[in-house]
């Protein structure tokens, strides 16, 4: 007998004040992706604000996506760059069981929106390098746990300014299968792509200082893979650069 296809849900459109699982009051919509929507919610008992990630049932068959997220967040709970997972809950929406994950609510702005607010819609090279350093240091801890992120881009980075640097959090993951060196190299490439786009992308690349080009390598994967084998290598590289006039110079040469 053929299986009845799962009814597709493309949006929940929850209104502020809606109640989830009898415990969480919806405050506002935060964002959406291909597999879920995320809402800012408030615990009824404590008034503490959390984030609730509601999965579309067609992308969470057998709760596979939920289990992947929850287990990965639990395994990486000691990684400061990631949000902290709290619990799993279930509701019914249009007659369908919907699972959602509750995690910390993080103050900040998605990097994509943050960049649009900057002068020229981009960061200076100095700012871009600080952003890259914070991200690389955070991802290094993930890689040390023999895990990977798999979906690093400017909509999955939550950022806020702190002095001359940034506070950042990574959200979401993508399941490319079991952790391996290739998946970790993709994380490194994605980190460098963040820098490339943050300082202006293709339109401004020709006028970037040498240090930016020495890291971005024209976005050529083979060059990046040879130069920065891990996020830790990239972090160390950034920490051993020195400023020399209008150019950066790395201690010990390039």
CATH of the domain at 94: 3.30.200.20
Q: Is residue 6 one of the residues assigned to a domain?
A: no
Name the 3-class secondary structure at 201: coil
Name the 3-class secondary structure at 209: coil
pLDDT, tens only, 32-51: 888 899 999 999 989 999 99
Residues 68 and 128 in one domain: no
pLDDT, tens only, 88-101: 999 999 999 999 99
Task: Among 83, 104, 125, identify where a domain stops.
Answer: 104
Q: What does the DSSP 8-state code read for residue 76?
A: T
- pTM of the prediction? 0.87
Q: Is residue 1 one of the residues assigned to a domain?
A: no
Overall residue count recorded for the chain in this entry: 254
pLDDT, tens only, 197-231: 999 999 999 999 999 999 999 999 999 999 999 99
Residues 215 and 183 in one domain: yes
Identify the pLDDT of residue 162. 86
Question: What's the domain count of the chain?
Answer: 2
Both tokens assigned to 194: 């963040």
Task: Among 81, 104, 127, identify where a domain stops.
Answer: 104
Identify the pLDDT of residue 252. 44
Identify the pLDDT of residue 165. 86
Residue 246 pLDDT exceeds 60: no
Output Rg (C-alpha) for the chain, integer angstroms: 20
Name the 3-class secondary structure at 234: helix
Residue 245 pLDDT exceeds 60: no
Identify the pLDDT of residue 177. 86
> How confident is residue 6, by pLDDT bands cut at 50, 70 and 90?
low
Residue 4 pLDDT exceeds 60: no
Residues 133 and 54 in one domain: no
Q: Is residue 155 one of the residues assigned to a domain?
A: yes
Distance of alpha carbon 101 from alpha carbon 85, whole angstroms:
8
> How confident is residue 175, by pLDDT bands cut at 50, 70 and 90?
confident
Residues 185 and 217 in one domain: yes
Residues 52 and 24 in one domain: yes
Q: Which domain holds residue 151?
A: 109-250
């Amino acid at each position: 007998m053929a299986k009845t296809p799962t009814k597709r849900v493309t949006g929940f459109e929850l209104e502020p004040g809606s109640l989830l699982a009898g415990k969480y009051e919806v405050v506002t919509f935060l964002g959406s992706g291909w597999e879920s929507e995320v809402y800012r919610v408030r615990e009824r008992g404590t008034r503490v604000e959390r984030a609730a990630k509601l999965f579309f049932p067609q992308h969470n068959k057998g709760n596979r996506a939920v289990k992947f997220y929850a287990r990965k967040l639990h395994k990486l709970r000691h990684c400061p760059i990631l949000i902290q997972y709290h619990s799993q809950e279930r509701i019914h929406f249009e007659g369908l069981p919907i699972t959602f994950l509750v995690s910390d609510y993080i103050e900040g702005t998605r990097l994509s929106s943050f960049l649009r607010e900057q002068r020229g819609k981009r960061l200076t090279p100095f700012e871009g390098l600080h952003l890259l350093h914070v991200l690389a240091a955070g991802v290094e801890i993930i890689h040390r746990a023999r895990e990977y992120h798999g979906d690093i881009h400017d909509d999955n980075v939550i950022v806020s300014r702190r002095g001359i640097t940034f506070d950042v959090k990574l959200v979401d993951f993508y399941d490319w299968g079991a952790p391996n060196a290739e998946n970790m190299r993709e994380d490194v490439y994605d980190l460098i792509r963040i820098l490339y786009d943050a300082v202006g992308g293709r339109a401004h690349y020709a006028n970037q200082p040498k240090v930016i080009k020495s890291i971005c390598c024209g976005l050529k994967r083979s060059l990046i893979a040879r130069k920065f084998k891990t996020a830790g290598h990239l972090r160390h590289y950034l920490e051993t650069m020195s400023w020399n006039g209008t150019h950066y110079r790395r201690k010990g040469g390039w």
